[in-house]
Structure 1
Amino acid sequence: MKTSFQLKLAPRRDVVCIREVECMLFPRIYLCQGIPNVGFTIDPAIERWNFARQNAYSYFKATPKTTVVGLIMGIGLPACLVFAIVKSKTKENERIDKGLQKKPRNYLAF
């Protein structure tokens, strides 16, 4: 078996064979050759998530289904929330006007 010094001096006959010998002699060095930051572990799930998040614009297609979902979430949901808040405030003001409920104290005004 050749040592690392003899591997450097050996003529380049077969790159695959030399690579296999290097893998056997230096397994840790061979595993770390392609990773620039050895201290970090790369999680494939996080890599897939980042790829999908960064490339969403190039893969997103405006179909009728996505358009309807976008309109519901962008216009319908906020409109329903505003309607519910306004309705509850008008009911509260009516109860205060009739005398059934006391006016709530404003803790922010000093």
Structure 2
Amino acid sequence: MERGIADNASIAAKAQLEVARARLEVVVSKLQSTVENLAVELITSKEFLEAAHAAYLEVKDHRVGASMEREQDTINWKKELKEAEEDLERLNQKILSAKDHKAKLDTASSLLQVINNDLVAYME
């Protein structure tokens, strides 16, 4: 009888052990599924992060390029402005020279007219 009780206890323990193993298998299966899902999510996040980083680097390169272009444009515009100012100064000098020549020509013409008038008066 004691042996029968021990056998029953052993059978009950085996049944509990089997239930525990079944539960463990379910938990392990769920954990494996969760790990796989997290691995996929991690890979997706990593790919997204790499794409975002690549986009950031591209924007940064574009910004640096635009800044360099703007700086070069500024240098070119300053150079063109300086050349235009020099051209303007040369033209102003030519205008002053032309005005000076015109004044001298007007003076010479007036003197010539006076001499011409004196010559006409002398010839009469």
TM-score (norm 1): 0.32
Between 1 and 2, higher relative CO (CA 8 Å, sep ≥ 6) is seen in 1
The structure with the larger Rg is 2
